[in-house]
Amino acid sequence: MEKMEVLRYRLYEAIEKGEKKEVLFLSRKLDKYIVEKTKQLLKEKEKHFKECV
């Protein structure tokens, strides 16, 4: 989760400074990271479920 924390921190800094382009860039990057992580976790859960059944 370290990468997510760094992105979130940088996003908060950009919001405070009012850097619109940086806010958009970082929010998209954070969204992509969350989607990737969610997909990875779902694959792991699916694999575990198949092993149990």
**What's the confidence (pLDDT) of residue 50?**
82
Q: How many domains does the chain have?
A: 1
pLDDT 10s digits, 11-49: 999 999 999 999 999 999 999 999 999 999 999 999 888
Phi and psi at residue 27, to the nearest 5°: -65, -40
Residue 51 in this model has a pLDDT that exceeds 80: yes
Residue 13 belongs to what domain range? 2-52
Angle formed at CA 44 by CA 11 and CA 27, multiple of 5 degrees: 15
**What's the confidence (pLDDT) of residue 1?**
61
**What's the confidence (pLDDT) of residue 35?**
97
